[in-house]
Amino acid sequence: MLRSVRFNSTQAGLEKTALHDLHVELGGNMVPFAGYSMPVVYKGQSHIESHKWTRTHAGLFDVSHMLQSSLQGKNAVNFLHKVTPTDFQQLSPGVGTLSVLLNPNGGIVDDTLITKQSEHDFYIVTNAACAQRDSQFLLSELQSVADAKWTPIEDRSLLALQGPDAHRVLKPLLDWDQSLTDLYFGQRRTYKLFNGVYIDVARSGYTGEDGFEISIPNDSALEFAQALLDNQLTKPIGLAARDSLRLEAGMCLYGHELNESTTPVEAALSWVISKSRRNVTEGVRFNGYDKIMDQINNKTHKSLRVGYKYQTKGPAARTGTKIFLPDGKTEVGHVTSGSASPSLDNLNIGQGYVLKPHNKRGTNLLVQVRNKLLPIELVKMPFVPSHYYRG
């Protein structure tokens, strides 16, 4: 199985999503992930088959282990402006954006998708593996902010339907007068299903394909998932393909590309730092403002997240693999994620951090795998074209 994340098979004491029994029924190979029992792959379809099916048809992912939450109150925007570098005042209602939670040193506590539902109401999704720490961080930061309340959402499941046929699968389940054609990438809206259940649909995902992330009441999740899978265009997809899909899309995985010692500038995520928040003379400054702005203005960061591809055949570089200059002696970085790419004829690709000035695209370097030095080239990400729906 090709993957850049290792999955353990022990099951004791794990949480279960509302779809757990369905995963088992479908032949899911259940493994621990972020405290939950989750399917890594399903019987009758390999990791590579699952990956390619999502790229060409529609894949259904259970991502209910991720933390959904709500932030409400008159000071909700001010709070977000303290813990993230993104401008949520200017964001239109019904629109979401990727951002990062920042600690006082400008390090990334977690990456997050935040949707503005109204002026004082925001919907937040953060990573499952960081749920406890994120909760503690947000509650701690809220102690200094009045009129803002953060609440975990525990009665809803979260499903991701990804791939070029995703809209063809979802549309027949919506009430007759509702359309997906005017729901564009980054937008979120409430829809009514034919059975009367209301779902919140965001046109977003973790694969680089068109698709939806759908929040639905727990007691309706099973019937809805089964209805999606009844369509021959849809197959259930597990964690292994989810990881290789996000790697091809050039997306970060917390704990690999991102951590509390890494700033968004170093992580090549400067685009989440809104231009309107880069010269704050009055009002709220985001955590780590001085350090991050120094990196932007004076280029004081020492390393940068990069993408690479192999220039020869060989075993994939994994997390922690050292990166060297062509002399084979001077270490200049390390790999954070690496795998063979199912979409690129199993060409080995990956991400890592490389010291300046050796982090420019087109630079030839070496990775040390099993005591062998293998040539790589730094390249632009994503590794495969994105297909976000923009109308």
Q: Per-residue pLDDT tens for 232-266?
A: 999 999 999 999 999 999 999 999 999 999 999 99
Residue range(s) defining the domain that contains residue 316: 302-383
In a domain? residue 379: yes
Q: H/E/C letters for each residue in 130-176?
A: HHHHHHHHHHHHHCCCCCCEEEECCCEEEEEEECCCHHHHHHHHECC
> Of 379, 380, 349, 340, nearest to 52 (Cα)?
340
Estimate to the nearest angstrom the gap between the alpha carbon of 355 and the chain centroid: 25
Assign residue 344 the CATH number of its domain: 2.40.30.110
Reported as a pLDDT band with limits 50, 70 and 90, residue 11 is low
Q: Does position 356 have pLDDT exceeding 80, yes or no? A: yes
Q: Is residue 78 part of a domain?
A: no
Sort residue 112 into left (φ over 0), alpha (ψ -120 to 50) or beta.
Answer: beta
pTM of the model: 0.95
Please count the structural domains in the chain.
1
* DSSP H helical ranges for the chain: 20-25, 47-56, 76-83, 131-142, 166-170, 218-229, 239-248, 289-298
Residue 57 lies in a domain: no
Q: Is residue 94 part of a domain?
A: no
Q: Rounded distance, CA 1 to CA 262, Å? A: 30
Report the pLDDT averaged over residues 349-366.
Answer: 99
DSSP 6: -
User: Mind giving me the DSSP string for 320-346?
Assistant: T-EEE-TTSS-EEEEEEEEEEEGGGTT
Q: Is residue 158 part of a domain?
A: no
The answer to whether residue 161 sits within a structural domain is no
Beta strand pairing call for 198-202 and 58-62: unpaired
Mean pLDDT in the chain?
96
**Structure tokens, 156:** 């809803």
Kindly state the DSSP code that residue 352 receives in the 8-state scheme.
E
Residue 257 labeled ligand binder: no
User: How far apart, in Å, do the first and last CA atoms of the chain sit?
Assistant: 36
Q: What pLDDT, on the 0 to 100 scale, is given for residue 12?
A: 60
Is 228 in a helix, a strand, or coil?
helix
| Residue 377 forms part of a structural domain | yes
Its sign, for the CA torsion 55, 61, 67, 73, is positive
